[in-house]
Every structure is written in C-alpha cells, then in structure tokens.
Amino acid sequence: MNSNGVVEWAVVESDIGPLLLAATDSGLVSVVFHARPAVRDRALAQLRSRLGAELVESPGSARLAEPIRQFAAYFAGTLRDFSLDLDWSLTSGFNRQVLRELSAGVPYGAVAGYGDLAERVGQPGAAQAVGAAMGSNPLPVVVPCHRVVERDGGLGGFGGGLETKRRLLALEGVLPQPLF
C-alpha cells in the first residue's frame, strides 16, 4: 500500500479512445481502456476497493506527467519502450510473473504466443492461465498484452476489444494499418 494512501488519476485522449491512467507514489498502477464515464466510474470504484486508497483526479499531477507524455509519444510513433515506474500491487503470483516476463521479453514490433510465455515462466502447458493473466493485466499497453497472440495466427482475446488490439499491433508495424 502506498504511504499516503492517495491514487492520482486522469483520463487522457488517445488514438484508441480515452484512457484512464492512475498512479500511486510507487508508479503507474492502472491503465483502463474506453474510459468514458460509466467505465471510468466502475474502474475507479474497483481501484478504491482494491487499493484501499483515496482517489484524486489530478491531470496536472507530477506523478502522471511522465506516463501522459510517454503515452502521447507512443501513439505518435516516437516512443517504442515505456520507461515508467510501475506499481505491481494489483497483480500477484503467476499473473505477475507472466506480466513481468511479457514486459521484459516481448519488445515493440514483436509478438509471442500464449504457450511461449507459459514456457518462458517455467509452466509449459499453462497457455490458458497465461490468457487469464493477460485478461487481468492492470497495465495494458505499458505491459504489452496486445503482443500476445494465438499460435495459429489468430489475435486471441483482448480486454480492450479486438479492434483496439488490431490498432495497437498496426501502430507497432506487426499488422498492416487498416485501410479505413
């Protein structure tokens, strides 16, 4: 739990719609897709209950300045690697292990299969559990679960929706840009 019990958050526009970014004094703790009011309010209620923290909307916050800058640069195509302090407190155990491996080991412009990631964390055969870990990822885009795809070339699932996954992979040059 962060020392002062405050989570600062802001909603920022992006090429894939509004994103809610939330940070503790340890780092970025949550990224939420499609953060229109109903989704945003549900996400904030979950953060409040899971972190036991006070939530403060703070778009000008020093804590959020660098995440906001890096997201803008990523969508502009000028940033390939996020270098942010991350607060991993919303994930633990196997999920955290898989997400950390994904973060460290699957660079911009690359993809990995669910089974590949399971093997990398020493759990061959745990591809479905890897899928669940991707679905629980509290830090999408920064921890690039959009880069995890099915072995047969299918996109696999995605918490932000397949259209969002397609657009992120197109931005990174893995898929052709959509024609319209």
Contacts of 116 (CB under 8 A, 6+ apart): none
Q: How many angstroms separate the CA atoms of 139 and 111, rounded?
A: 17
**Catalytic annotation, pick one of 145, 149, 169, 171:** 145
Q: DSSP for 68-134? A: HHHHHHHHHT---S----B--TT--HHHHHHHHHHHHHS-TT--EEHHHHHHHTT-TT-HHHHHHHH
Do 61 and 8 contact (CB within 8 A), yes or no? yes
User: 145 an active-site residue?
Assistant: yes
Strand pairing category for 148-149 and 19-24: unpaired
Under a CB-based contact definition with an 8 Å cutoff, are residues 151 and 113 in contact?
A: yes
Q: Are 63 and 8 in contact (CB under 8 A)?
A: yes
Neighbours of 150 (CB within 10 A): 15
Just list the catalytic residues.
Answer: 145
